């Protein structure tokens, strides 16, 4: 059994990691930390884990994380870059679910995240943890940067089109919608049910920090420079991301559905849907699937891609477990075969 540590176990992504790993047949969580709940039993703080986890939250400053085979950071931006170097030196592997190692251009990262990077020497080494792009590199990685939730949904929606040079890369629009859990577990007035319920709004319209992550990932993956207009929205649901992506069609000779079917035919965590079927976030709730559909409505020259994921699973903890499986040599989908929770 591989020994696993989790730094930051009481946020939504940390608790989702615990939920998934508690049923994983080849790993055992040995260490879990929380500053606020140090000394408390995990099952008392997270009652859904009663009978599944007998650990106690430890203070991260004293937890024996270096004894673990792999450590997840489910923490705010800036935490992993301070602690990962020592863990890597001790021989542990690291997966960061925050953004510390996602963007290779440090000047861009520092601009969008408002921090000076604390481990610049590790940025080039870190592998961007999107298995559908970097599977082989992830297998041999010491340090994996788990992608953001919007970048996962949007990148997977655009990859086949850009790889086939089927769309104009300079005129792409991505309209993203997310449930409130995407903002994390924090006491913020704008995330209260009374504020979010029966309402709908765009945010960060002038620029969102996931935009440069998406553009850089697509450029490095396809060799094509992309100009993306990305506008996220907050919708009154807990889990889920839906991205509707619009791009001018460049090649009329490409069968769009066949293109997506071929690109993702062997991908265990991507499901290409027939264009005639509706795509709903609830069809992936609780799963590590990205479901996609693609069409050119009414033959007007604009390709429309729809992409749905659970932001806490394929958009965070589930994708991290998928990366862990690759890094530790387990079958990629181990522990990730749940059926969606419907209704």
Alpha carbon distance, N-terminus to C-terminus of the chain = 35
- Which of 53, 149, 269, 290 is catalytic? The answer is 149
Q: 141, exposed or middle or buried, with CB in 10 Å at 0-12, 13-18, 19+?
A: buried
DSSP single-letter state for residue 103:
-
The rounded distance, in Å, linking the Cα atoms of 259 and 249 is 14
DSSP single-letter state for residue 338:
P
149 catalytic per annotation: yes
| Contact indicator for 200, 175 with CB cutoff of 8 Å | no
Q: Residue with structure tokens 């509706």?
A: 278
Spatial strand order in the sheet of 143-145: 27-33, 2-7, 70-73, 93-96, 143-145, 127-128
| Contact indicator for 60, 7 with CB cutoff of 8 Å | yes
Distances (CA, A) of 78 to 54, 72, 81, 117, 277: 29, 14, 6, 8, 41
Catalytic residues: 149
């Amino acid at each position: 059994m591989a020994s696993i540590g989790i730094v930051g176990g009481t946020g939504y992504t940390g608790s989702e990691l615990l939920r998934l790993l508690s049923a994983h047949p080849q790993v055992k969580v040995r260490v879990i930390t929380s500053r606020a709940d140090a000394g408390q039993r995990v099952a008392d703080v997270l009652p859904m884990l009663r009978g599944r986890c007998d650990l106690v939250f430890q203070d991260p400053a004293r937890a024996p994380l270096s004894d673990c085979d792999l450590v997840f950071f489910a923490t705010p931006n800036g935490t992993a870059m301070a602690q990962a170097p020592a863990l890597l030196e001790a021989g542990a592997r690291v997966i960061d679910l925050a953004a510390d190692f996602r963007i290779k251009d440090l000047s861009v990262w520092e601009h969008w995240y408002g921090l000076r990077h604390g481990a610049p020497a590790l940025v080039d080494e870190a592998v961007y943890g999107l298995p559908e792009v970097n599977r082989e590199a992830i297998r041999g990685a010491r340090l994996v940067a788990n992608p953001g939730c919007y970048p996962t949904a949007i990148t997977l929606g655009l990859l086949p089109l850009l790889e086939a040079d089927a769309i104009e890369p300079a005129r792409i629009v991505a309209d993203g919608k997310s449930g409130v859990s995407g903002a994390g577990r924090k006491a913020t007035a704008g995330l209260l049910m009374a504020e979010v319920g029966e309402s709908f709004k765009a945010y960060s319209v002038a620029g969102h920090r996931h935009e440069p992550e998406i553009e850089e990932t697509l450029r490095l993956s396809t060799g094509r420079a992309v100009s993306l207009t990305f506008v996220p929205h907050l919708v009154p649901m807990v889990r889920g991301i839906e991205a509707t992506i619009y791009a001018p069609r460049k090649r009329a000779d490409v069968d769009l559905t066949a293109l997506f079917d071929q690109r993702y035919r062997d991908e265990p965590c991507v499901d290409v849907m027939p264009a005639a079927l509706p795509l709903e976030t609830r069809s992936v709730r609780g799963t590590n699937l990205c479901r996609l559909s693609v069409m050119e409505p009414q033959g007007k020259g604009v390709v429309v891609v729809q992409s749905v994921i659970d932001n806490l699973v394929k958009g965070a903890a589930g994708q991290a477990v998928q990366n862990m499986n690759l890094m530790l040599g387990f079958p990629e989908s181990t522990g990730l075969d749940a059926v969606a929770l419907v209704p």
